[in-house]
Amino acid sequence: MNLPITGLYAALCGLIVVVLVLRIVGLRRKFRVGIGDGGQKPLAQAIRVHGNAVETMPIALILLAIFEANGGLYWIVHVFGAALVLGRLLHVLGLSSSIGITFGRFWGTVLTLLVIIGLAIANLLGFVASFNGAV
């Protein structure tokens, strides 16, 4: 199975996660905290930004891969993939700047959830369209 479009967006999401991990590592070194956040708010915030990314990216990428593998139109796969990356970047920027509600955090979350919901619906519709009585 060849999933080049999903591969592109998975790679971009992977790079986002690497940057987030490196931020945590840097803050752990700065505050000399080996595990947890040591009561350091910047470290707690960085951990949460990373956690949110790894909580949402995998399901979105799985749904994207299934959609692409089942013959989803390439441009629609790109739209979903680009929206996912944009949503995650917005969220990272928003939550990194403030633990409160920000433009980036709000719209990053909305965009990410729309991608997950849209791909879930697209995959369900694909199943229904191909259903021939045998499961």
- Per the listing, tokens 């956690």 go with 51
Q: Give the Cα separation of 63 and 121 in Å (integer).
A: 10
pLDDT confidence of residue 44: 96
Q: Hey, what domains does the chain have and what are their CATH numbers?
A: 4-126 (1.20.120.550)
Question: Is the distance from CB of 50 to CB of 20 less than 8 angstroms?
Answer: yes
What is the average per-residue pLDDT within 40-53? Answer: 96
Confidence band of 135 (pLDDT split at 50, 70, 90): low
> How much is the CA Rg of the chain, to the nearest whole Å?
17
**Structure confidence by residue, pLDDT tens digits, 57-113:** 999 999 999 999 999 999 999 999 999 999 999 999 999 888 888 999 999 999 999
As a whole number of angstroms, the distance between CA 69 and CA 111 comes to 23
Does residue 121 have a pLDDT over 70?
yes
Please state the pTM of the whole predicted model.
Answer: 0.93
Confidence of residue 131 (pLDDT cuts 50, 70, 90): confident
